[in-house]
Amino acid sequence: MAKMKKLVVLLLVATIVVFSLAACSSSKPAGDDSSNQQTNGDNTGSNNEQTSESEKEVEKPSEIRFMIDGTFLLPDNGQEYLVKAFEEKTGIKLIVNQPAHNEYYEKVNLAFATEEIPDVVLLSGSHYLNYAMQGALYDITELYENSEVKNRIVDQAIVDAVRVNGRLYGLPKERGNGTVTYVRGDWLKKLGIDIPKNYNEFIDMLRKFANEDPDGNGKKDTIPLTAAGLINSEFPMDIYLREFYQTATPDFVQKDGKWVDGMTEPEMKEALKRLQDAYQEGLIDKEIVTNKTSTCRDKFYSGKVGVFNYWAGQWNENLIVNLTANVPEAEVTPIPAIEETYYIERAPVPLCITTAAKNPEGIFKYFFEYMLDSGEGQTLFTHGIEGITYEMKDGKMVKLPSIQNPDVPFNKMFIAGELSITDYQDPYEYSEPIVNSLKIFREKAVQYSLFPTSETLTQLLPELNSIKSQIVAKIVVDNYDIDQGLEEYKKLAKDYVDAILADLNK
């Protein structure tokens, strides 16, 4: 009987729950139809009349709804201090919405689709373009041109990289950065090799790494060079393996003002030949096609890899720390781009004001300009708060232990100081590997802009890119005849290429 009673109670609870739910639901879940008219339409420049009388007082927003990915300080790592300090300094409440990093764009899309649009949102590459194109982002061109920030930006090319038909829909918080080629410095010394300056020397170096037992274990088991894939899955597809691609690219490029498919240009054929020869000779990781970035890192850390092209800056230090844990005498040396090629600096990731924001001028002035003020604000968003994340000792900045993991020093709030785009005099002294790898990278890096987008492009590019990587892998790994491979490519890709070129050259 006791059992029976329990069951009745249970059922009752269940029914109550269900009924209360049903009652709520009668308040009608059909809000999806009243959907977004206001984000639609052309609002480029509509609000810009006021800013021309720029002396007019800009109203300060009382709060800003801010949607941001994992690059912003996590709650567990002391996000509240940053929010509090920002409010103390500016009087603005920052309402942070920080979805889990992997699902960030899923959540951003969902937020826009369901009318929960934030005031400020971080959007990378194709997302940024797509959102700008659809009129979801506020045009900040005039605000930027008339602002103080503009004078503080050291290189306008960085900002120009995110212009869409000359208009700005977002402001970068830091440089896009790029990858540099890291070489095992200790192997170079051991085998008596100089840092390679051109392709022939580079290949010679790989050959020696392959054949002269640089790790000294008596076995021929080193991987001269590793990479995650022969071709990047999106623009720029040739960001890694710079020594092999050189001036060729599988992307669409502009030649004499006209767009062409880089895949079928003559220099691509040479690049494929270089890749094929090197792979067949065993100078490139056999598993390049199945490597993930994390696999490459693990292989590099385990001390088996000679050359690895990866992010400049902070990652140089990470590579050293993890590699020397296994191979204490190891050195990680970033090398300048060889004669035939250059490194690629990606377009930066812009912070955008949405068209749903009520006071875009205020947000720009009191949030964006403050964050990039080359002073107090930038210090706050880079290094945090004195006494909590850093302290000053003899005029030098020392990082305090991280809140989340006290074994390591605090890293950064939001902006990576070493990638600053303003003339900010950074009080912090970055470690030698960070400074050095960035210097070597920037010596010969080309700032890339965003690849254009359109409805046709977003529909067709992913599949075309997948065809490209299929063909390149076949040629390089299966030693397929290059001309034949490219013929096959032309057949498979013809419809795609025609449609895309027609769209680009419009």
Candidates 244-252, 269-277, 379-387, 452-460 — which segment interacts with another protein by CB under 8 A? 452-460
78's tokens: 């002391």
Q: Which is nearer to another protein, 105 or 199 (CB)?
A: 105
Check binding of 432 to another protein (CB under 8 A).
no
Candidates 105-113, 159-167, 335-343, 422-430 — which segment interacts with another protein by CB under 8 A? 105-113
Check binding of 449 to another protein (CB under 8 A).
no
6: three-class secondary structure by DSSP: helix
**Rounded to whole angstroms, how far apart are CA atoms 141 and 161?**
13
Q: Per-residue x/- mask for another protein, residues 322 to 361, rule CB under 8 A?
A: x--xx-----------------------------------
Q: Per-residue x/- mask for another protein, residues 136 to 175, rule CB under 8 A?
A: x---------------------------------------
For 385, what's the count of Cα atoms within 13 Å in the CB-facing half-sphere? 17
Task: Please give the residues from 226 up to 265 whose contact with another protein meets the rule CB under 8 A.
Answer: 229, 234
Check binding of 223 to another protein (CB under 8 A).
yes
Task: Please give the residues from 15 up to 34 whose contact with another protein meets the rule CB under 8 A.
Answer: 15, 17-19, 21-22, 24-25, 27-33
Q: Which is nearer to another protein, 311 or 428 (CB)?
A: 311
Candidates 239-247, 375-383, 385-393, 453-461 — which segment interacts with another protein by CB under 8 A? 453-461
Q: Which is nearer to another protein, 113 or 154 (CB)?
A: 113
* Residue found under tokens 């250059």: 342
CA angle 496, 501, 506 (to 5 degrees): 135
Question: Is beta strand 120-122 parallel, antiparallel or unpaired with respect to 350-353?
Answer: antiparallel
In order, the DSSP letters of 180-202 are EEEEEHHHHHHHT-PPP-SHHHH
Nearest to 497 by CA among 272, 254, 258, 260: 260
305's tokens: 């890899």
Check binding of 46 to another protein (CB under 8 A).
no
Under DSSP, the state recorded for 71 is T
Q: Which is nearer to another protein, 130 or 276 (CB)?
A: 130
| Phi, then psi, of 68 in degrees rounded to 5 | -150, 150
Cβ neighbours of residue 132 closer than 8 Å, sequence gap 6 or more = 164, 167, 169, 170, 352
Cis peptide preceding 236, ω within 30 of 0: yes
Cβ neighbours of residue 358 closer than 8 Å, sequence gap 6 or more = 61, 119
Query: Cβ 131 to another protein, closest distance in Å?
Result: 8
Check binding of 40 to another protein (CB under 8 A).
yes
Check binding of 102 to another protein (CB under 8 A).
yes
Query: Cβ 246 to another protein, closest distance in Å?
Result: 22
Candidates 143-151, 186-194, 336-344, 451-459 — which segment interacts with another protein by CB under 8 A? 451-459
Q: Per-residue x/- mask for another protein, residues 258 to 297, rule CB under 8 A?
A: ---------------------------xxx-xx-xxxx-x
Out of 460, 482, 486, 504, the only residue in the binding site for another protein (CB under 8 A) is: 460
Q: Which is nearer to another protein, 3 or 358 (CB)?
A: 3
Q: Are 173 and 120 in contact (CB under 8 A)?
A: no
Query: Cβ 361 to another protein, closest distance in Å?
Result: 23
Burial (CB < 10 A; 0-12, 13-18, 19+), residue 115, is middle
Q: Which is nearer to another protein, 85 or 210 (CB)?
A: 210
Q: Which is nearer to another protein, 86 or 235 (CB)?
A: 235
**Rounded to whole angstroms, how far apart are CA atoms 346 and 162?**
10
Length in residues, the chain: 506
Q: Are 250 and 486 in contact (CB under 8 A)?
A: no
Out of 91, 387, 401, 462, the only residue in the binding site for another protein (CB under 8 A) is: 462
Q: Which is nearer to another protein, 196 or 334 (CB)?
A: 334
167's tokens: 């208009």
Q: Which is nearer to another protein, 273 or 474 (CB)?
A: 474
Task: Please give the residues from 384 up to 413 whose contact with another protein meets the rule CB under 8 A.
Answer: 404-405, 407-408, 411-412
**Rounded to whole angstroms, how far apart are CA atoms 101 and 440?**
30
Out of 164, 183, 353, 461, the only residue in the binding site for another protein (CB under 8 A) is: 461
**Rounded to whole angstroms, how far apart are CA atoms 471 and 141?**
41
Check binding of 502 to another protein (CB under 8 A).
no
173's tokens: 């918080």
Q: How far is CA 347 from CA 41, 254, 304, 308, in A?
A: 27, 17, 32, 22
Check binding of 477 to another protein (CB under 8 A).
yes
Check binding of 12 to another protein (CB under 8 A).
no
Query: Cβ 401 to another protein, closest distance in Å?
Result: 13
Nearest to 75 by CA among 106, 98, 103: 98
Strands (E), 341-459: 343-345, 350-353, 390-393, 396-399, 445-447
Q: Per-residue x/- mask for another protein, residues 69 to 88, rule CB under 8 A?
A: -xx--xxx------------
